[in-house]
Amino acid sequence: MGHDRRKRRLQAAGALWGLLFFLYGLAGMEADRKTAGQNIPAVSLQEDYIQQVDFNVTAEALRLACETDLRTWGSGSHIDWISLLACTAARFDGEFGKQALADLENTARKLEKGESSLKEEAGGLSSYSYYREVYEAVLGGMMGEYLLQERDEEGNLIWKRKYGLKAFSPIAASFPYSDSDDFGAARSYGYARPHLGHDMMGQIGTPIVAVESGYVEALGWNEYGGWRIGIRSFDRKRYYYYAHLRQNYPYAEGLEEGDAVTAGDVIGYMGHTGYSSEENVNNIRTVHLHWGMELIFDESQKESDNEIWIDCYQLSRFLAGNRSAVEKVGNTREWRRVYGMEETQE
């Protein structure tokens, strides 16, 4: 996977990136990207898929948009949260400060009251389609219909069809953790490189759950990430990376490469393995989960010099409101989710 090959690629890519940025400047990309006051983020000059992303949506914006989507679901004026976020981003160059949040709420009110339509709101925004595609790539699997177990009045587990947020924090419910925005911070083991994920500090053995449903695409030891798991979303647009899992017992029992997992499933356990070519070594000083999200607009990006990793800190803050309840499995070291969930065909 991408982390396994990054040392070789980044050492060779520095000079190339400098040349590319120079050529982009000569081509006048920045001037072409600004039309009618809208700052449209860069795309490739030679390819028709997005190759550069700045995901700056705050947890507050995600929460407001999600609540709007949920509140209007099933009505004649359902407001898709991704489209609402894209409208706001196109007006404020992808930034979500206080003014943008107020605009988001105002737009939602107008749409809900029938005073405007999404077509009207997005019509004059030249960068709307860009942000719509980017935000769909990041958030596309996080809202929708699903089946979830819950207890009835007699305490029996029953299945209920739901609509709403179906993505989870990677840290199971009731387990403490701390974090901060550390995306892009310097890392020096092996070679100088930026931190392309988000660290969540906690206790050894804390259950780690799948943020989103998908297929296990990578499982095993990585020199930098230690015991790690890579999960690809079903639509193949997102690759989730979970690293530094527990020594000796990193994974949920029976988990194998190629398995399908459901959002909220326990997939592994927090540890501090990594920074060693020898397997099963604790060389990371602080116990934590490193998790990251790679966006894939074209399959050629998956393991290349053009990988797109986004800052997951705000997503972590947002998803902290939806944590999967887990329970211990007898006297084993295993944990499992309490309430089952199933994806549905929408």
- Name residues of the chain where pLDDT drops below 50: 1-46
pLDDT at 190: 77
Q: Are 310 and 138 in contact (CB under 8 A)?
A: yes
Rounded CA separation 86/46 (Å): 25
CA distance 41 to 27: 15
Whole-angstrom distance, CA of residue 228 vs CA of residue 280: 11
Q: What pTM did the predictor assign?
A: 0.86
Task: Please tell me the predicted confidence (pLDDT) of residue 191.
Answer: 78
Report CA-CA distances (Å) from 149 to 173, 207, 295: 16, 20, 31
Q: Report pLDDT for 174.
A: 97
Identify the bridge partners of residue 147 per DSSP, sorted by sequence position: 161, 342
Write down the pLDDT at residue 47.
Answer: 66
**Where in the chain are the domains?**
59-139, 178-343
pLDDT at 346 (0 to 100):
56
Sign of CA dihedral 329, 335, 338, 341: negative
Check residue 14 and give its pLDDT. 39
| φ, ψ (nearest 5 deg) of residue 295 | -95, 140
3-state SS, residue 3: helix
> What is the model's pLDDT at position 288?
98
- Look at the domain 178-343 and name its fold: Glucose Permease (Domain IIA) (2.70.70)
Q: What is the 3-state secondary structure (H, E, C) of 195-247?
A: CCCEEEECCCCCEEECCCCEEEEEEEEECCCEEEEEEEECCCCEEEEEECECC
DSSP codes, 14-25: HHHHHHHHHHHH
In degrees, to the nearest 5, what angle opens at C-alpha 65 toward C-alphas 60 and 68? 125
